[in-house]
Structure 1
Amino acid sequence: MNGDDALPLSESAATRLQQYPGVQAIGLGMKETGGQLTGELAVLVLVDRKRPLSELAVDEVIPAEVDGLPTDVVEFGAAYALAAADTKKYRIEDESKVRPLIGGIQVQARHWGVNIDTGTLGCFARTREAPQRIVMLSNAHVIGDSDSDVTDAVGQPSMCSICSTCCSDTVGEVLRFRMTEHVDGAIATVDASAGTPAAQIKEIGAVAGTRPLSAQDAFSGTIEIQKRGRTTGLTFGTVRGWIVGPQNILNHNGSVNRVSRDHLLLQVRQPSECFVLDGDSGSAVLDMDRKVVGLLFGGNEKGTIGLACPIQFVTDELQIDILEATAVVPVVERAFAIAPLAGIADGPAGELLETPAGRFAAELYDTHAEEVRRLVRTNPRVSAVWRRHGGPALIHGLARAAEQPDELPLPVELNGRPVAEEIRAICDVLARYASDALRSALVLHGPRLAACGGRTLAECATMLAPRPAEAVAP
């Protein structure tokens, strides 16, 4: 079902590798050395943990080459379906109520009178059968994975704890699901009381369609992605490879949720340190042009690797088409988006704002932030450049740096390109449409902003502060 005439790995070779102790699954992807993808195609051998050769018998050592391809042993751990409520690092836990509904927000279903674990509303779709309906898309293991779940209520952000119908948070009901080797997906109707759904995803923006990926696309190692989930928020990654399978996807009690084949292996990339955690299940995975490539359904315990169903499998098995925006849709962003200095006076960065350099940076922000925010949200050209050149990733990095303003540096790269180049591109497009005051500030401070990569917020504030006898253009 991978859609390719032939893979450069025989089924017999994959089966043999699967028999080695500790092997979780077999795939194809770029070989990684020293934390960097090398561009060399390899057979990915996912294991529960890497063990030194001294612990292995001769017949337990994974061969260095299979079918003419080098092997790359990837420490994965167990693969989990991500819908549980334990506490881990990097959690944002967005439990906000959002109307009208958009993608990337929390949902919860109620089955047999019991509220199940929360997950994420990925995006919206249109059913192919008549009469066509607009539906919510998430995982089957989030909103419904058995026939008894069909017509059960779905709530946003959660279901009422008293009943399934009296709560204003009820937004629809389960329409159908597919829990197969290739798809963990379900759709739910949208109640009129929930408003007209917007074809956008929180912090990402308007959905620009779909991008079906073949196995060859996936193991090229060049496709950068983003996702927005209710637990970890907006995070960034790379499509690392294509997992041939079979791979056991576990519940958190250790039982098998399902066996999966032909799915995408997703790896975290800067500025994110974590890509996915419990509760992010059901998130839509998009490329950096906001085209949906997959539906997130699982990952490893560390949160550094995610698993997703290729979107073409999801749409075919559920008989839906992903809803895309027909016009520019304002982005619904986190409170700090394009406003990293807001609300930090009482946090770790509060002392920074008391310094002369910090006060100057805050004044600069107060003067121009609203105009920048308006341009990014309403001007199609600015919005496109902002996203293409890593604006959301930059804001994510700023928010992280604000946690330890004297120690945590800003990213040195955005989307795999030097942060200086990306900031210059953003400043250039802003200056084209800016007021005279903002344009003057960009001309004066833009080069210093571009030099902020790899520096702490304290260092950046010092760089921005005016030199002696220099005209200040806040």
Structure 2
Amino acid sequence: MKTKIREVIEKHGKDLLKYPNVIGFSNLPQKRIRRGKVVDELVLRVYVTRKVPEHLLRKDEVIPKEIEGVRTDVVEIGRIKKLQGYRERYRPAPCGVSTSRADQNAAGTIGWFMVDEDGNIYLLSNNHVWANENNASQGDPLIQPGLLDGGDPEQDIIAELYDWINIDFTGNPNTVDAALATPIDLSQVYMSIMEIGGITGKGDPALNVIAKKVGRSTGYSEGTIIDVNATLNVEYDSGTALFQDVFIVQSDNVIVQPGDSGSPILDGEGRFIGLLFAGNEEGTTFVGCKASNIEAEFQNKLGKKIWILLANAYPPFHKEVVYEVQKVYPSSLEVMGLSLQMIMQFMVFTAMIGFVNLITKEAVKIEW
């Protein structure tokens, strides 16, 4: 049955997008959701902005209950669109906090870090947060906090735009909404996520497990991954963009708001699994692009190896009053310095133990 469902999705998936209120579908066989509960029946899941009683629709507007012997299941997730928003100033700047372009009255979220084969370190967020939906230039200044949050376009610059993956608005599928930036000063950024800390690794999203994120507007929130391979239409200022191979996180509570775009998404074990780039108007659903696709897209664009940076640090726990420079937790350089200092101390300690053992052996020989 799974093979049959995959064949039908491949053949008819995009045709479903023509129906009213339909914004996407799952690329994998899914279990039916009935009255909020998952039941043991494999179906082709179709995502809509809202469910409409069948008698209010024309016959040609009704999603088929069955396609070539495969049953469909209509799931309401609301309209999916880009997010933008507000908040405060932090130094060193961790991830999960407000950021924007210096020339745009907006605010999104700093996501995480990447590192290339040459050892260069980059900050990571969304294209629509830092690259203005493809309308940007390399070297554009980026600030923290965002301009909408009172960020100063001259005093609060923390990075320069390095590169981004273009978003296609012509109907061709996208897999990521992502941009890279070069930090102005590594001592002014912190490889840690507000309320969480660093990451324990990276991985792929798994169905029906808890995903957590920290974002500009809603802070720390959790939801359940309901789809790990979805195709969705996402609304932007520049038009509607089709995304595929993205994952969906949903909750009964509000877990996302404007300003959370760019938020890092982690699984229950603290592994980085993706970057939040869209959500529904109700705030109960957000969409993420996968870490593996982010790496693959940038490796292809830059022509060299680049990875999600693996760094586990303590979570930042104090904020800085806007415009007051108060060091409240160690910078990335200080964390690396402390690590080197501990290694040196251990080496000295090991050498001393070896020296003491040598003297002891010589003393024993003399006594004999």
Aligned CA distance change for structure 1 residues 42 and 333 (closer, same or farther; 3 Å): farther
Q: Distance in 1 between matches of 2:151 and 2:280?
A: 34
Q: Do structure 1's residue 97 and structure 2's residue 89 form an aligned pair?
A: yes
Name the SS for the 1:277 alignment partner. Answer: coil
8 Å contact kept, 2:106–2:146: no
8 Å contact kept, 2:128–2:134: no
8 Å contact kept, 1:81–1:257: no
Q: Do structure 1's residue 177 and structure 2's residue 170 form an aligned pair?
A: no
8 Å contact kept, 2:230–2:248: no
Partner residue in 2 for 1:146: 134
Q: Unaligned stretches of 5+ in structure 2?
A: 168-173, 300-305, 320-368
Aligned AA for 2:198?
A
Deviations 1:172-195 (A, max 9, x none): 100000024111100101122x62
Name the SS for the 2:46 alignment partner. Answer: strand
Matches within 5 A, 1:277-292: 277-292=257-272
Partner residue in 1 for 2:285: 305
Q: Distance in 1 between matches of 2:262 and 2:80?
A: 15
Aligned CA distance change for structure 1 residues 290 and 67 (closer, same or farther; 3 Å): farther
Aligned CA distance change for structure 1 residues 280 and 52 (closer, same or farther; 3 Å): same
Aligned AA for 1:249?
V
Q: What TM-score, normalized by structure 2, do the two folds share?
A: 0.74
Partner residue in 2 for 1:25: 24
Q: Note the C-alpha offset of 1:274.
A: 0.9
8 Å contact kept, 1:49–1:77: yes
Deviations 1:352-380 (A, max 9, x none): xxxxxxxxxxxxxxxxxxxxxxxxxxxxx
Q: Distance in 2 between matches of 1:242 and 1:292?
A: 15
Query: Based on CA coordinates, which of the two structures has the bigger radius of gyration?
Result: 2
Q: Note the C-alpha offset of 1:331.
A: 2.1
Partner residue in 2 for 1:48: 49
Aligned AA for 1:259?
L
Partner residue in 2 for 1:231: 217
Aligned CA distance change for structure 1 residues 157 and 316 (closer, same or farther; 3 Å): same
Deviations 1:380-399 (A, max 9, x none): xxxxxxxxxxxxxxxxxxxx
8 Å contact kept, 1:226–1:236: yes
Aligned AA for 2:53?
P
Deviations 1:435-455 (A, max 9, x none): xxxxxxxxxxxxxxxxxxxxx
Q: Distance in 2 between matches of 1:266 and 1:162?
A: 30
Partner residue in 2 for 1:261: 244
8 Å contact kept, 1:108–1:119: yes
8 Å contact kept, 2:291–2:308: no
Partner residue in 2 for 1:190: 183
Match of 1:200 among 192, 217, 227: 192
Q: Note the C-alpha offset of 1:47.
A: 1.7
Partner residue in 1 for 2:226: 240
Aligned CA distance change for structure 1 residues 300 and 134 (closer, same or farther; 3 Å): same
Once the two structures are aligned, what percentage of the paired residues are identical? 31
Aligned AA for 2:201?
G
Match of 1:331 among 315, 320, 343: 315
Give the root-mean-square deviation of aligned CA atoms.
Answer: 2.7
Q: Do structure 1's residue 276 and structure 2's residue 256 form an aligned pair?
A: yes
Partner residue in 2 for 1:394: none
Partner residue in 2 for 1:155: 143
8 Å contact kept, 1:99–1:195: no
Aligned CA distance change for structure 1 residues 75 and 222 (closer, same or farther; 3 Å): closer
Aligned CA distance change for structure 1 residues 67 and 135 (closer, same or farther; 3 Å): farther
Name the SS for the 1:179 alignment partner. Answer: coil
Q: Unaligned stretches of 5+ in structure 1?
A: 86-92, 336-474
Q: Distance in 2 between matches of 1:224 and 1:309?
A: 16
Name the SS for the 1:44 alignment partner. Answer: strand
8 Å contact kept, 1:237–1:275: yes
Partner residue in 2 for 1:34: 35
Deviations 1:197-254 (A, max 9, x none): 43321112221121034xxx4xxx3221000001011110111114543x33213x6x
Q: Distance in 2 between matches of 1:235 and 1:334?
A: 19
Q: Note the C-alpha offset of 1:24.
A: 1.4
Q: Distance in 2 between matches of 1:8 and 1:185?
A: 30
Q: Distance in 2 between matches of 1:301 and 1:209?
A: 31
Aligned AA for 2:308?
I
Aligned AA for 2:271?
K
Aligned AA for 1:22?
N
Aligned AA for 1:139?
N
Q: Do structure 1's residue 81 and structure 2's residue 82 form an aligned pair?
A: yes
Q: Distance in 2 between matches of 1:76 and 1:23?
A: 10
Q: Distance in 2 between matches of 1:222 and 1:44?
A: 15
8 Å contact kept, 1:186–1:318: no
Name the SS for the 2:15 alignment partner. Answer: helix
8 Å contact kept, 2:105–2:146: no
8 Å contact kept, 1:205–1:290: no
Deviations 1:252-305 (A, max 9, x none): x6x515322221121125xxx112111100011110111111111101111111
Name the SS for the 2:292 alignment partner. Answer: helix
Q: Give the structure, 1 or 2, with the largest relative contact order (CA under 8 Å, sep 6 or more).
A: 2
Aligned CA distance change for structure 1 residues 148 and 63 (closer, same or farther; 3 Å): closer
8 Å contact kept, 2:158–2:188: no
Q: What TM-score, normalized by structure 1, do the two folds share?
A: 0.58
Q: Note the C-alpha offset of 1:10.
A: 3.2
Q: Distance in 2 between matches of 1:163 and 1:103?
A: 19
Partner residue in 1 for 2:60: 59
Q: Note the C-alpha offset of 1:333.
A: 4.4
8 Å contact kept, 1:210–1:293: yes
Q: Distance in 2 between matches of 1:68 and 1:333?
A: 55
Q: Distance in 1 between matches of 2:165 and 2:317?
A: 31
Aligned CA distance change for structure 1 residues 8 and 102 (closer, same or farther; 3 Å): farther
